[in-house]
Chain A
Amino acid sequence: MADVKLAFIVSKPPYKSEVPKLGATHAMAYQTVEILLEEGDTVTPVLCYVGDGVLNCLKGQKAMDIYGITSTETHLKNCLLVDLDVYVCKEDLENFGIQEDQIVDAEDMGAEKKLQVVPFETIKKTVEEAKHVLYF
């Protein structure tokens, strides 16, 4: 039995390219990967937003209303619904003057999980402990 830790790091702001959204998509796909593992083996992904990437976490995104595309906010809500750990760098939120009540939650969809605002040191530790680091 083994647990493989994966760290997905998103450092780019949303929408200019598909890359930052793919970070969340790939992190969510961990459930699919588990089907391919040996009995008892697990994958533990952590999705981390750092630098300009924390701008992905602003709530109130109207991408579907305006451009007809699924918003990054909806993607993040889906991550919370599947109980993914999502870390948002505290220092980078402070740098942009973003308060915790301005970031996405999925209470309206019944998720108990929330985005976790953590110091960069926690994200660094997550990267150190991960077997694979995927950078978006």
Chain B
Amino acid sequence: MKLGVFLSEYRADSTILQRLSPEKLGIILVGNGVYHAAIKEKGQSSQILDLKANFYALKEDLETRGLDASKLDSRVKPLSYGDLVDLIFNEYEKLIWM
């Protein structure tokens, strides 16, 4: 299964993602989920980013929050809304929202 997951919370329980273990996992950080890509706590990146997945963060939601899309964790690719539409139509068979 090629699974795309929208993650819109900063304090999220990611254990279900580890258990699903899809053949391809994309985590799309939107809303407050974008803090996973841009903020470190005590110098440590979000543990979500340790999952085996492709990570994306919506530029519009980063900029809304005063976060710089050019300074994300290197594992995360910033996306525009247009890029996001292409991604969900072309790369993933199923999408869930967390």
Q: For residue A51, which residue of chain B has the nearest CB?
A: B11
B39 touches A61 (CB 8 A): no
Known pairs A16-B8, A16-B31, A52-B11; A58 contacts B40 (CB<8 A): no
Given the known inter-chain contacts A52-B11, A58-B65, A62-B63, please indicate yes or no for A13 contacting B43, CB distance below 8 A: no
Minimum Cβ distance to chain A for residue B7 (Å):
12
Interface: A66 (CB within 8 A): yes
Query: For window 5-47 of chain B, which residues contact chain A by CB distance below 8 Å?
Result: 8-11, 31-32, 35, 39-43
A60 to B63, CA, bound (A): 8
Q: B41 touching A14 by the CB < 8 A rule?
A: no
Find out whether the CB atom of A55 lies under 8 angstroms from the CB atom of B35.
yes
Does B60 sit within 8 A of A, measured CB to CB?
yes
* Interface check B64, CB cutoff 8 A: yes
Q: Which of A58, A67, A95 contacts B66 (CB under 8 A)?
A: A58
Interface of A is mostly: loop
Q: Say if the beta carbon of A73 comes within 8 Å of chain B.
A: yes
Chain A, 37-63, CB within 8 A of any chain B CB = 52, 55, 58-63
Bound-state CA distance A58–B11 (Å) is 19
Chain A residues within an 8 Å CB radius of B63? 60-62, 65-66
Are A55's CB and B39's CB within 8 A?
A: yes
Known: A13-B35, A96-B40. 4 other contacts (CB 8 A): A13-B32, A55-B39, A55-B65, A61-B63
**Residues of chain A having any CB pair with chain B under 8 Å:** 13-16, 52, 55, 58-63, 65-67, 71, 73, 95-97
Q: List 11 A-B contacts (CB under 8 A).
A: A13-B65, A15-B31, A52-B11, A55-B39, A61-B65, A61-B66, A62-B64, A66-B63, A66-B64, A71-B64, A96-B41
- Chain B residues packing against A (C-beta within 8 Å): 8-11, 31-32, 35, 39-43, 60-61, 63-68
